[in-house]
Amino acid sequence: MILRIMSQIMAKKKSPKSNSNTIALNKKARHEYKLFDKIEAGLELQGWEVKSIRSGKVNISDTYIHIKDGEAFLLGSLIQPLISASSHVICDPLRYRKLLLKRKELDRLAGSVDRGGFTLVATAMYWKKCWVKLEFHLAKGKNLHDKRSDDKDKDWAREKERTMKHDSR
């Protein structure tokens, strides 16, 4: 009797969500830049932007962060407005979006960009509970020979795995 009740309870448990919280990725960033510190920030969005993000109409492939007057702004992100969005709101898909960061983080990032020659590159946008978060990195651009050596290392690692897998059979 107890076993049957326990098995019914276990069967009723819901499986964990298989959905990813990721909204958009910038896959080019790892190829084009050497990424250093990872920072997470909230975004100041309008209502139509949140609706568009929920439907997945976001592109952050050529996105970067600009610090001006002690505030950080996301530039180059494209959020396509929905056709069914409110008609009294003027939708600008490429507008500057303010990042929500603490003063200490802003000062540290501004110093790194000004003195260290770094740039701030967005790498991912995702949901955290009910908020949209942006992941970005302090980055430095790679030279052509750096990209070639990274590709060579990646190819060598792949080839090594293939030979090890083939030899173990």
* CATH number of the domain enclosing 38: 2.40.280.10
pLDDT in tens, 84-110: 766 677 788 888 999 999 999 999 999
The answer to whether residue 150 is domain-embedded is yes
Q: What is the total count of domains within the chain?
A: 1
Name the pLDDT band for 13 (thresholds 50, 70, 90): very low
Mean pLDDT of 14-36: 77
Confidence of residue 14 (pLDDT cuts 50, 70, 90): very low
Question: Hey, is 131 helix, strand or coil?
Answer: strand
Buried/exposed code over 38-51 (b: 16+ C-beta within 10 A; e: otherwise): ebebebebbebbeb
| Residue 131 included in any domain | yes
Asked if the structure places residue 13 within a domain, the reply is no
Q: Is 4 within the bounds of a domain?
A: no
The pLDDT confidence band at residue 165, using thresholds 50, 70 and 90, is confident
**Residue that wins the pLDDT comparison between 25 and 13:** 25
- Whether pTM > 0.85 for this model: the answer is no
User: Is 11 contained in some domain?
Assistant: no
Q: Is residue 5 part of a domain?
A: no
Domain that holds residue 151: 20-162
pLDDT value at residue 12: 47
* Residue 156 within a domain: yes
Count Cα neighbours of 8 within 13 Å in the Cβ-side half-sphere.
5
Structural domain includes residue 62: yes
What's the average model confidence in pLDDT over 117-140?
Answer: 92
- Euclidean distance between CA atoms 118 and 35, whole angstroms: 10
